[in-house]
Structure 1
């Protein structure tokens, strides 16, 4: 799916990495990555969280990418296309995902955002799987992830013969599971569902 003159990205969370201290029974921490991949420029951006993968976390990751990276490259771009999996922080069933997109990305940045979700079982067609996450896994294969910094270093040094470049940020913000977005709050979204597969495709506009 492509929108004319609209930058696009592929996004995915829904996986986690963990490591342990010298005592194999004592967990030291768990990293929750949210990856963003720009297929046009072959560039990745991974936000590593230290809390839970929630819709608020997923949107914070996309917003960090937009503010620190994409906005400079797109100049005055007013539209964004997001190709996302249907689960995890950007779940197609979640009210929090479109709600936080509206509040944290669409309104503050006056950005029209179109989201198209991959149906369940179709994630393998998401380019972020084989062009980004697969390459990161190859880069640290067999290496112990002893700290957040170790994980970030492996992510940042991931590259391919086709010129993949990856940036990474650590986000220590605490997120709570089970956030409830009311039907009344959803009424305040400027959300338009598309005629084709309306559950999976929709557009949010600034208010």
Structure 2
């Protein structure tokens, strides 16, 4: 099986190990994504892999992208990253396992605790969207700001 992009593998891992356990009655997942990178709002490869993911999980995923150049308003940037930077400060990384353990030690007095894992898949580069995906996808774009907001629904 060709592995989907890293973002979708990360979502799958979270849902199977945390989300489905803690949110048993959830009928959908809301993801707030930055506007760039492999999960960019303009990337149909992300949408294709997202469609495959919702088909596999059987739950719809709603995507709300931050507009370009506004990722600084993403609360994760302010709530998580400073603490990851703090625990890694002055450390010379000599293994992926060391980085994983350092990040797992990031916590705050207000209750932030970081859970880490290492995804070891190898991802194929240069992939293209299949020719008929745009005609067969079950991705519904919002009426308001459809370029940034949409929902991927499982296909029957």
Please say whether Structure 1 and Structure 2 have the same fold, judged by a TM-score greater than 0.5.
Answer: yes
Per-residue deviation at 1:173? 0.8
2:36 corresponds to: 87
| 8 Å Cα contact 1:55-1:94 kept in structure 2 | no
Q: 1:128 aligns with which of 68, 73, 76?
A: 76
Q: Given the superposition, is the C-alpha separation of residues 55 and 109 from structure 1 closer, same or farther in structure 2, using an over 3 Å criterion? A: closer
Matched, 1:146 2:94: yes
* Mapped partners of 2:27, 2:4: distance in 1: 23
* Mapped partners of 1:86, 1:198: distance in 2: 13
2:138 corresponds to: 190
* Mapped partners of 2:148, 2:39: distance in 1: 11
1:200 corresponds to: 148
Structure having greater relative contact order (Cα 8 Å, sep ≥ 6): 2
Q: Given the superposition, is the C-alpha separation of residues 58 and 119 from structure 1 closer, same or farther in structure 2, using an over 3 Å criterion? A: same
Q: Tell me how large the CA RMSD over aligned residues is.
A: 1.4
Per-residue deviation at 1:183? 4.1
Higher helix share: 2
Counterpart of 1:103 in 2: which secondary structure? helix
Per-residue deviation at 1:55? 6.3
| 8 Å Cα contact 2:63-2:151 kept in structure 1 | yes
Name segments (4+ residues, structure 1) moved above 6 Å: none
Matched, 1:168 2:113: no
* Mapped partners of 2:129, 2:74: distance in 1: 28
Deviations 1:135-193, CA, capped at 9 Å, x for gaps: 10111111111101110001111001211011111111111222100341232211111
Higher strand share: 1
1:101 corresponds to: 50
Greater mean deviation of Cα atoms: 180-189 or 142-151 = 180-189
Q: TM-score, normalised by structure 2?
A: 0.93
2:27 corresponds to: 78
